Amino acid sequence: MKHLLIIIVLMLAMIPVHTIAAEQKVELEITGMTCSLCTVAVKKSLSKIDGITDIKVSYKDEKAWFVADDSITDEVLIKAIKKAGGYKVQSIHRE
Ligand SMILES: [Cu+2]
């Protein structure tokens, strides 16, 4: 019985912390958006990425805000914005 308990404790200790996805707030600075249709395109493209929620986009502010799984790389975000219509990510701020 005691051995079983030790085995369970050891197994729990072996689960890597990074497998538990952490969410972070992300702010993208995007250039190239000129109207509300651009914001729709950017929003649609971002929504296709698994692990992104609560997307808000403003072409006037040249920004997009959303909640993202921290495993989503900058490259994935830059590609999605480019794919939306050739827009360019100027900066990525995560918190
Ligand atoms: Cu537009």
In a domain, 8, yes or no: no
> For residue 94, what pLDDT is reported?
97
CA 58 – ligand 1 centroid, Å: 11
Is residue 46 a part of any domain in this protein? yes
Check which CATH number belongs to the domain holding 50 and give it: 3.30.70.100
- Name the residue with higher pLDDT: 92 or 10: 92
Residue 25, Cβ neighbours under 10 Å: how many? 12
Range(s) of the domain holding residue 62: 21-94
Rounded-to-integer distance, Cα 38 and Cα 32, Å: 9
CA distance 70 to 31: 23
Q: Is residue 49 part of a domain?
A: yes
Structural tokens at position 86 = 């050739």
Q: 27-86, pLDDT tens digit by residue?
A: 999 999 999 999 999 999 999 999 999 999 999 999 999 999 999 999 999 999 999 999
Q: What pLDDT sits at residue 21?
A: 76
Answer yes or no: is 70 within a domain. Answer: yes
Residue-wise pLDDT tens digits, 5-40: 665 555 667 665 556 679 999 999 999 999 999 999
68 inside domain: yes
Cα(9) to ligand 1 centroid in Å equals: 56
Burial class (CB in 10 A: 0-12, 13-18, 19+), 72: buried
To which residue do tokens 């990525």 refer?
92
In a domain, 9, yes or no: no
Residue 7 lies in a domain: no
* Domain membership flag for residue 14: no
Distance (angstroms) between ligand 1 centre and the Cα of 93 equals 24
How many domains does the structure of the chain reveal? 1
User: How far is Cα 18 from Cα 32, in angstroms, rounded to an integer?
Assistant: 35
